[in-house]
Every structure is written in structure tokens, then in C-alpha cells.
Amino acid sequence: MRAQLKEGFRWALAQTHPARLTAQHLPEETPALIVAVGKAALSMLQAALERFPRVPFITVPKAQEGLQPNLPPHGQVLPAGHPLPDARSVAAGEAVLQAVARLKPHDLLLLLVSGGGSALLCAPWGLTLSSKQALTQALLRSGADIQEINAVRKHLSRIKGGRLAAATPARILALYLSDVPGDDLSIVASGPTLPDKSTFAEALAVLDRYGLDFPQVRAHLALGAQGGLPESPKPKEALFARVENRLIGGNQTLLEAARAYWQAQGYRAVILSDRFQGEARELARFHANLVQSIRAHHTPFAPPVVLLSGGEASVTVRGSGQGGRNQEFLAWLAFYLGQEGLWALAADSDGIDGHTPAAGAILGPDSWTRAQRMGLDLKAFLQNNDAYGFFLALDDLFITGETAHNLNDLRILVVR
């Protein structure tokens, strides 16, 4: 079963590879410029260049050690920082803004966007890069959800929240791979070509809600809330008449591919939702309760059944350990199920869960008893937010390396 869980995850990734999804949505018209940004930028660009091999391009992927993509010389490859923006992110942001500003109204800009673009493409507005880095880190650790984080980001950027669309006179076809629950494209990479419904006042409220004290940022947001700065482009503004934003794949796409795999193995497979959010521990409690109901009462499903779920949990970090939301989810699932246990895998489709080298982890029916035999205090690991340390000790980390993929999380629970 351990091998089957890994195979099922990798099979679902292969069926929803960004290049495969992008190729199905490329335009007939040759674009004047291709811009690809995000964790899946290189995969998406690969498909576009196969169709339009001579078109100039700019791609902004996540910087990786030893990354040397084999791309033609008539484009720019500008690797940048993630999850925290860095000086390379700022340079990439300026390069893209300058390039799209040179386009003409009759030109077509092909924009390929995937998650991670918020950090990779950066044009700070109203704050320094170092302040933006500190704020991003504080937001990620606060427990704020992606909508709240992006409301702040959009009002501190000259690119996010539709401002990239406003920066060019060209027509735009933007193809989006969604890594957010519900596939709200205005959240993916902070929606560079989407109208923004959030406001300066709402961004300021996020800082208040999580007790984040950044005086420079607060002053900028307060000035905007008072009408002293231009708001991000809103729905029904004329500029969006020349923009087509198209969803080409999301977490549901990944879940459906996973369901097809498990059905082919002879299992009943059920997609619970692609929209789970909230604390990883509470999400684990829900899944544990569901597993116990299935086992005890054969409701809402009779076993054996494979439960599939997606979305994006959050973790309010209080300890000093290592982990990501998928590892934290599984560690809490192990805690709630105790010695009952079950086979489960939870992993991020991009191959990186939190600030760890693992995509996620695997839970087995014997994980609880093995941990006790090894003297591992699961509750102590959880209190220290050290799910990575727990699964490392059990040798149950799931390590894929970066996948050039980004369709959010995949959780697989096999209830026998």
C-alpha cells in the first residue's frame, strides 16, 4: 500500500502536468510576447514554445540550485525567490513591467500564470523589499488564509491585483493554473490580470486581525484607505475588455485524476472537496471523525473506500519545529486515530511542504505503535509544530523533489 500511495500521487501529477494542460488552451494567433511566472512557469512555457518557437519570452520560475533550463536564446530566464521575494524577484518584476509597457494595442500578450507568482514577480509599492520580506514571513506564520494574505499583497504592489493588466496597452490572454481553494483566479499569484474586489481598508484590517505591527506598511495602507493613493483596478473597469482570463486546471483536476487511478485499482474513490481550508489540526479532526464513522457505521460510505481531498490548510506556528501543512495534518490525524491508524498520504503537488525538503508524508496503520516503541511523544512534536521531525524519525517522509507542478494539496486516505 505504501508503494501504491506513492504511485497514485505521481500518476495524478503526470495526468495533470502543466505542459499538458497549457497545450490544450493555446491561442491560434501568434502572441507578440510570452510571459510565464510561477512554480509551473517552465512547464507551461515548454508547451507554448512548442507551438510558438520564435516568439520572445520572459519566464520567472522559482530559483533552484543547478537550474539550467534548455530554452532558446531569444528570451529571458529570471529565476527568483520563493516563498519570500528577493532582489531577483524585484528585478524580474521590473523587467516584465518594462516589456509589457512596450507592446502595442494590436499586440497579444500570452501570460502563463501559476501559484508562487506573488513572491516571484515583485514590484514593491509603499515599502522596501526588506519590509516586504518580513511582512510576508509574518503573514505566512500568522495563520492568515490566502485571501487575507493577498488582500495585503495587492495593495503593496505595482503588479498584483490587476495592475499588470493596467501596465500594458496590449490585449491579454492569461492562462491560469490554480493552487487556491475554489479556483478564484484573483488569488492565484495575487491576480495580476484580474479585477480586485479588496480594498486598502480591508488590507489594513488583516494586519489588525493578526496583530502585525509594520508602521511603514500601515501608513501606506491608511493613506490608500483615505483616498490618497489609487485603488487597484475594480470589476467593470474598461481595461478588462481587452483581457481574457482562463482557468486551465486546478485542484479539482488533480483530485479527479487521483480518483481515476484508485478506481482503476478496484477501489471506490470519493472526492470530499477541493475547497478545504482552516487549521490543519481541525481538518485532521474532521477526517478522523469521518474515518471512524465509516468503520463503525458504514456511513456516509461503506468500506473499503478511498477518501480524496484537496484545498489548502493553514498552520498557526507556535513552536520552533519544522513542518508543512500536509505533515501537520497527518501528524494530527495519527493523534486523533491513535492505534486504530490507517494508510494515508498527504502532499503538496509542487513537491515542497512548508520549509522542508519533503512533499509531505505517509501514515500507516502501525505508525502510532511504531512511534510508541521508539519513544516518540507525538503530542510533544505537535506542540512544537515539528511534524517533519516526527515523520523523519519514523522514516515516513514523502520526498519527490520539486515537481514543476502546482495544483495545491492532495490527501489520500484508504479506509479498509
Q: What is the pLDDT of residues 346-392, one digit of tens each?
A: 999 999 999 899 999 999 999 999 999 999 999 999 999 999 999 99
Q: What is the pLDDT of residue 346?
A: 98
Is the predicted pLDDT of residue 239 greater than 70, yes or no?
yes
Domain at 252-415, CATH homologous superfamily = MOFRL domain (3.40.1480.10)
Kindly report the average pLDDT of the chain as a whole number: 95
**In whole angstroms, what is the distance from residue 144 CA to residue 161 CA?**
18
**CB contact at 8 A, 313 and 278:** yes
| 260 phi/psi in degrees, rounded to 5 | -60, -40
Residue 162 has pLDDT above 80, yes or no: yes
Q: What is the per-residue pLDDT across 113-160, written as a single tens digit (0 to 9) for each?
A: 999 999 999 999 999 999 999 998 899 888 888 789 989 999 999 999
Per-residue pLDDT at 65: 62
Q: Which pLDDT score is estimated for 146? A: 79
- In the chain, the amino acid numbered 289 is N
pLDDT of residue 67: 67
Higher per-residue confidence, 118 vs 109: 109
* Annotated domain spans of the chain: 18-249, 252-415
Packed helices 200-209 and 215-225: angle between N→C axes, nearest 10 degrees:
140
pLDDT given for residue 385 in this prediction: 96
Pick the CATH number of 18-249 from 3.40.50.10180, 1.10.600.10, 2.40.50.140, 1.25.60.10: 3.40.50.10180
State yes or no: pLDDT of 220 exceeds 90: yes
Instruction: Say if pTM beats, i.e. exceeds, 0.75.
Output: yes
Sole residue written with cell 492568515: 144
Secondary structure of 261-315 in HEC code, one letter for each residue: HHHHCCCCEEEEECCCCCEHHHHHHHHHHHHHHHHHHCCCCCCCEEEEECCCCEC
Q: Are 37 and 113 in contact (CB under 8 A)?
A: yes
Check pLDDT > 70 for residue 66: no
CA-closest candidate to residue 193, choices 251, 235, 155, 135 = 235
Share of the chain above pLDDT 70, in %: 99
d(CA 367, CA 331): 10
